[in-house]
Structure 1
Amino acid sequence: MIGVSRRHMMNGHFDLAALGMLVAVAETGGFTAASARLGRTQSAISVRIQDLESQLGHKLLERSRRGVTPTDAGERLIAHARRLLAVEREALADLGGETPTGRLRIGVPDDYMDAYLRPLIARFAVEHPKVELEVRCDISKRIEPALKAGELDLAVVTQDPQRPLGEMLRREPLIWVAARGHRPELQETLPLALFSEGCRARPRILAALNSAGRAYRLVFSCSHTSGVLSAVEGGFCVTAMTESAVPPSLRRLGPAEDLPPLFELTVGLIMAPHPGLAAQRFADALREEMSAFRLAA
């Protein structure tokens, strides 16, 4: 920890430009990409972040072979920084008479849509009546190239663990579930419902079963949550899904049912280059929603 008095920290004021640089480095994964985004030199960004670290007495970023990642203190500051920067943008837009208009195209897997985006989208539509919302629900593997091709303005995806794109919003534990009143997990060969091939969790789920030596058979495959849920609620199979998306009709399974522990998925936000005001406002609202969701969890 960098030596600095608590009194000095409490009496200081944040440099919003430096906070913006810190957020850019965290979102892009490095100083080079942040430099390209902000139009500032890497050395200038580095100096401003070092000044922040000296002001607060905390190291904010860690450099590793995988890139640049926030420390625990950095993660906490970034959450505050995003809110401060959003307020600054809102104030500038308000005084400048700037109102989001036009079409906003959002890509999202439908399990995330059901878990925490539906209320946000409804609220955003009411608060920004001049914005035409277009939502595409699909698997992350197809959403990412659609955004790259210019078909979407922003996307919420399950990040590829080997090649994560975008800004990480939250971690989602994956858990086993089955219908209440049914015991398909007692079958010697586990009947399984999963998302279609292309789902990033699917090969890892199957690998977990194989590593545990648990026999299984795939009895249902679908590209949408509603289809998988219908199969599981019918009582003849189990599935694995994100914890926040589990409906009351299902019960959780685990080691007691001879099922292996699973893993966490990381939910990411990807923005198109040069996002418009509507996309920026939605991204700010999404970060705020995710922050509140984490606190409530």
Structure 2
Amino acid sequence: MTRHLDIDLLRTFVAIAETHTLGRAGGRVGRTQAAVSMQVKKLEAMLNQPLLNRTGRGVQLTLHGERLLAHARTILRHHDAAVADISGAGLSGTLRFGCPDDYATAFLPHILRSFAGRHPQVFVEVLCAPTPRLRERLKRHELDLALVSTAQEDNTTPVVRREPLVWVGKHDDDAVLREPLQLALSDPDTLDHRAACEGLDAIGRAYRVAYASGSISGLLAVVRSGQAIAVLTQAAVPPDLQVLPTGKLLPRLPDVGLAVAFDLRRPPPLAVEFAEHLQRQLPAL
């Protein structure tokens, strides 16, 4: 007997895999939790395999569920692209986009607003996190594409824009004079954290990482309190803080590149269109 994978069942299954609960998945696809449960049972009966394990915190995919998830995402991407192309309705669907906090603050409002003007039927889900966390999400196919930071010496990745890293402090504050220097930095494996530590080590300046977080709002709060200085991309420096001069006390920091990374070698049309939009808009912002 020939078995056919129903698109609605696959869409619900992907929603469950991404939200980890039947209730939240139901909210995403517009169905009750009971209806979602029935869809799962129907899909499991069709494939004759268990797809989910219920836990106290929600649901987890079985080995068969993990295998189906990869196929389901591919099928849905091609299905949605085909419908949009043949119907002449233009691009539609949901795009999962990742962006570091500092780029989101500086660039994202304009990027999303201008893209929505061109493609009003596309819904963009945004996840803000440091570049290493975004790359992890891409590997797990939890994002379609992401704007990521690349090192100045990286010549293997096409760069959309370059941004200087700068030291940031509170206006009329003497935090830069303290010994050891107190720092508020992003996660230890990020380019800005490494650049700050390597630069200070190179000039022999004593320092202490007083606060480390992937949240730019947390870093800015510490800087605004006068307890530490931070390292940000220049475009992300808010007007109430200042770029600190480099010299004997603070080393010059490198530039970082902004690049687009996909979760698939052959990304779907929607992801390609958003990437091209980034490449058109970012250099001018």
Do the structures match in fold with TM over 0.5? yes
Q: Determine helix, strand or coil for the equivalent of 1:167.
A: coil
RMSD of aligned alpha carbons = 2.3
Structure 1 residues 104 and 165, CA, compared in 2 at 3 Å: closer, same or farther?
farther
Structure 1 residues without counterparts, runs of 5 or longer: 1-92
Whether 1:149 aligns to 2:140 is yes
Please report how far the alpha carbon of residue 184 of structure 1 lies from its aligned counterpart in structure 2 after TM superposition. 0.6
- Number of the residue aligned with 1:234: 225
1:286 paired residue among 278, 281, 285: 278
Structure 2 residues without counterparts, runs of 5 or longer: 1-83
- Most deviating of 94-103 and 255-264: 94-103
Whether 1:193 aligns to 2:205 is no
Please report how far the alpha carbon of residue 122 of structure 1 lies from its aligned counterpart in structure 2 after TM superposition. 2.8
Whether 1:276 aligns to 2:268 is yes
Q: Determine helix, strand or coil for the equivalent of 1:176.
A: strand
Q: Which runs of 4+ in 1 moved over 4 A?
A: 93-96, 160-166
- Number of the residue aligned with 1:210: 201
Q: Larger Cα Rg: Structure 1 or Structure 2?
A: 2
- Number of the residue aligned with 1:118: 109
Structure 1 residues 96 and 247, CA, compared in 2 at 3 Å: closer, same or farther?
same
1:242-261 to 2 correspondences below 5 Å: 242-255=233-246, 258-261=249-252
Q: Determine helix, strand or coil for the equivalent of 1:122.
A: helix
Instruction: Report the Cα distance in structure 2 between the residues aligned to 1:215 and 1:288, rounded to whole angstroms.
Output: 42
Tell me if structure 2 keeps the 8 A contact 1:176–1:254.
yes
1:128 paired residue among 115, 119, 123: 119
- Deviation digits for residues 156-192 of structure 1, max 9, x if unmatched? 0012567676431111111111011322112132111
Please report how far the alpha carbon of residue 117 of structure 1 lies from its aligned counterpart in structure 2 after TM superposition. 2.0
TM-score in terms of structure 2 length: 0.65
Identity of aligned residues (%): 35
Tell me if structure 2 keeps the 8 A contact 1:173–1:265.
yes
Structure 1 residues 165 and 231, CA, compared in 2 at 3 Å: closer, same or farther?
farther
- Number of the residue aligned with 2:12: none
Instruction: Report the Cα distance in structure 1 between the residues aligned to 2:92 and 2:85, rounded to whole angstroms.
Output: 14
- Most deviating of 218-227 and 144-153: 144-153
1:177 paired residue among 168, 172, 186: 168
The amino acid across from 2:235 in the alignment is: S
Structure 1 residues 166 and 260, CA, compared in 2 at 3 Å: closer, same or farther?
closer
The amino acid across from 2:255 in the alignment is: E
Instruction: Report the Cα distance in structure 2 between the residues aligned to 1:166 and 1:154, rounded to whole angstroms.
Output: 14
Tell me if structure 1 keeps the 8 A contact 2:130–2:187.
no
Instruction: Report the Cα distance in structure 2 between the residues aligned to 1:256 and 1:159, rounded to whole angstroms.
Output: 25
What is the total number of aligned residue pairs between the two structures? 201
